[in-house]
Amino acid sequence: MDFRSFLCCTGGLDRKEKEKKESTWRIFSLKELHAATNNFNYDNKLGEGGFGSVYWGQLWDGSQIAVKRLKVWSNKAEMEFAVEVEILARVRHKNLLSLRGYCAEGQERLIVYDYMPNLSLQSHLHGHNSSDSLLDWPRRMSIAIGSAEGIVYLHHHATPHIIHRDIKASNVLLDSDFKAQVADFGFAKLIPDGATHVTTRVKGTLGYLAPEYAMLGKASESCDIYSFGILLLELASGKRPLEKINSTKRSITEWALPLVYERKFSEIADPKLNGNYVEEELKRVVLVGLICAHNQPDKRPSMLEVVQLLKGELKEKFAAVENDEMFTTGQAADCNDEASVADDSSSFISEDKERIQEIEKAT
Ligand SMILES: Nc1ncnc2c1ncn2[C@@H]1O[C@H](COP(=O)(O)OP(=O)(O)OP(=O)(O)O)[C@@H](O)[C@H]1O
Ligand SMILES: [Mg+2]
C-alpha cells in the first residue's frame, strides 16, 4: 500500500493550509529512522509506555526527534492507521506536541515527534530530574494553564473533537522554555479496538482514571477533566496520584481534601518549592484540581472554565467553587464517601485486569 498516493487524494485541506502542513509533516522511511536512532539502540531509549517504546534520534539535518515504535499492530488496518495519523497531524496548537510524521513499512508502525529537551513533567516531579528542582512556581503555573489550553483545543476546537483519554504527567512534555506540550492525544484511536487497547488504558494510569471510566469504560471529555484535576494536584503538591500507605493505596484527593477543610494550603504545597509560591495561585490550583476530580461528572467544570479559573478570571465561579459542599461539609462524611468510591473503582479495575489477563492468555 502506498500511503503517499492515498494521502495526496485526501480532500478537505486548501492549498495554502496543505503547503504549511507539508513543510512540517512528512512520511519517513524505516531506513532513515534506523539511521537516526542508531538502529533503535537501547542507549537511545527514552522510555516505554502502553503503546511501545520511544527513542531519541537525530536526523541528517541535525534536528532531534523522538520516535515512538508501536508494539502492536494488526496487518489489516494500514489504511486506517494512515487516516488517523493524518487527522492527528492536522491538530496544531502551541501546547500540543505536534507530529512530524510517521513511517508504515511492513510490520513497523512508527510516529515521529520533535524531541522535547526538558522531557516530561513526570521526570521533574518524580523522576530523575526531580532532584534538580527546576520547577519553580511561575513555571508550574504556566504548565498548568498551558496544558489546560492544549486540552481546550482538543475538546472544543479540533475537528473532529478529540478526547485525550490518557492525561497524566508523562504525557505533558516540556520544551526548551519549559512550555507545556501535551502529547499522545487521540492515540487510543491508532490502536485497533480490543484487548490490547483495554490493557494499555488500565495499566499504569490508575490514579488518573475517573471513577465512571474505571467502572463503565466509557470515555468522555469529562474523564479528561478528572485526570487533569489529578494532574493539577500533583503539580501543586509534588505527590504522586496514588501513594502506598502500608498495604493500602491512598489517592491524592483523599490526602488533599482534609487539608483543604482545615484551609492548610501551605501543607499541600510541594516542599521542593521552599515556600516560594503565590498563595492565591496555589489555592486556585488546588481547589480547581479538586473540583475537576469530583466523583460526580456533572460537578466538574469544562476545560474552558478551568483555563479561566486558573487565570483568576471567573471571580464569581471561583467563589462558588470555594463554597462547594465538597470543601465545606463535615470532614468524615465526605472523606469516607471519597474513599468508598475509590475502593469501588479499584475493585472494578482489578476485575477488569483479571479479564484482560484472560484475554491476553487467550491471544
Ligand atoms: N517527544 C518527546 N520528547 C522527549 N521525551 C518523550 C517524547 N515523547 C515521549 N517521551 C518520553 O518517553 C517516555 C515514553 O513515552 P510513552 O508515551 O511511550 O509512555 P508514557 O507517556 O509513559 O505512557 P503512554 O503510553 O500512556 O503515553 C515517557 O517518559 C515520555 O515522557
Ligand atoms: Mg506518552
148-179 residue pLDDT tens: 999 999 999 998 888 998 999 999 999 999 99
3-state secondary structure of 251: strand
> Does a structural domain hold residue 362?
no
- Dist. CA 208–CA 212, nearest whole Å: 12
* Interior angle at CA 141, CA 213 and CA 160, nearest 5: 45
| Shared domain check, 128 and 103 | no
* pLDDT tens string 255-282: 999 999 999 999 999 999 999 999 999 9
118 pLDDT exceeds 80?
yes
| Shared domain check, 152 and 77 | no
| Shared domain check, 80 and 129 | no
| Residue range of the domain that includes 211 | 121-356
The pLDDT > 70 percentage for the chain reads 78
> Does a structural domain hold residue 251?
yes
| Shared domain check, 191 and 42 | no
> Does a structural domain hold residue 363?
no
* pLDDT tens string 291-303: 999 999 999 999 9
CA of 68, closest atom in ligand 1: 18
Cis ω for the linkage preceding 138 (within 30 of 0) = no
Average pLDDT of the chain to the nearest whole number: 82
Residue 166 · residue 231 · CB < 8 Å = no
Read off the CATH number of the domain in which 341 is found. 1.10.510.10
| Shared domain check, 209 and 350 | yes
Read off the CATH number of the domain in which 23 is found. 3.30.200.20
Residues having CB closer than 6 A to ligand 1 are 46-51, 54, 66, 68, 97, 113, 115-116, 119-120, 166, 170-171, 173, 183-184
pLDDT of residue 189: 67
- Ligand 2 centre and the CA of 328: distance in Å? 36
pLDDT of residue 355: 35
Residue 289 · residue 232 · CB < 8 Å = yes
* Comparison of pLDDT for 145 and 84, the residue scoring more: 145
* Comparison of pLDDT for 41 and 91, the residue scoring more: 41
Question: Domain ends where: 61, 93, 114?
Answer: 114
* pLDDT tens string 289-342: 999 999 999 999 999 999 999 999 999 999 999 999 998 874 433 333 433 333
| Shared domain check, 125 and 110 | no
> Does a structural domain hold residue 92?
yes
| Shared domain check, 264 and 160 | yes
Number of domains within the chain:
2
- Dist. CA 270–CA 141, nearest whole Å: 13
pLDDT of residue 79: 74
- Ligand 1 centre and the CA of 340: distance in Å? 32
Question: Domain ends where: 96, 114, 132?
Answer: 114
In which band, very low, low, confident or very high, does the pLDDT at 187 lie, cut at 50, 70 and 90? confident
- Dihedral sign computed on CA atoms, order 310, 316, 321, 323: positive
Q: What is the DSSP letter of 193?
A: S
Active site residues: 166
Q: In whole angstroms, how large is the CA radius of gyration of the chain?
A: 21
| Shared domain check, 162 and 98 | no
| Shared domain check, 148 and 53 | no
Pairing status of strand 64-70 against strand 52-58: antiparallel
pLDDT of residue 129: 82
284 pLDDT exceeds 60?
yes
**Ligand 1 pocket test: which of 37, 96, 119 has the largest number of ligand atoms within 8 Å of its C-beta?**
119
Closest ligand (CA of 201):
1
CA of 184, closest atom in ligand 1: 27
- Dist. CA 28–CA 254, nearest whole Å: 46
| Shared domain check, 276 and 162 | yes
Q: For ligand 1, atom 24, name the residue with the nearest CA.
A: 49
CA of 116, closest atom in ligand 1: 3
68 carries a ligand binding annotation: yes
* pLDDT tens string 37-89: 999 999 999 999 888 899 999 999 999 999 999 886 665 567 777 877 888 88
Instruction: Specify the pTM.
Output: 0.84
| Shared domain check, 32 and 169 | no
| Shared domain check, 131 and 15 | no
Question: Domain ends where: 63, 87, 114?
Answer: 114
> Does a structural domain hold residue 69?
yes
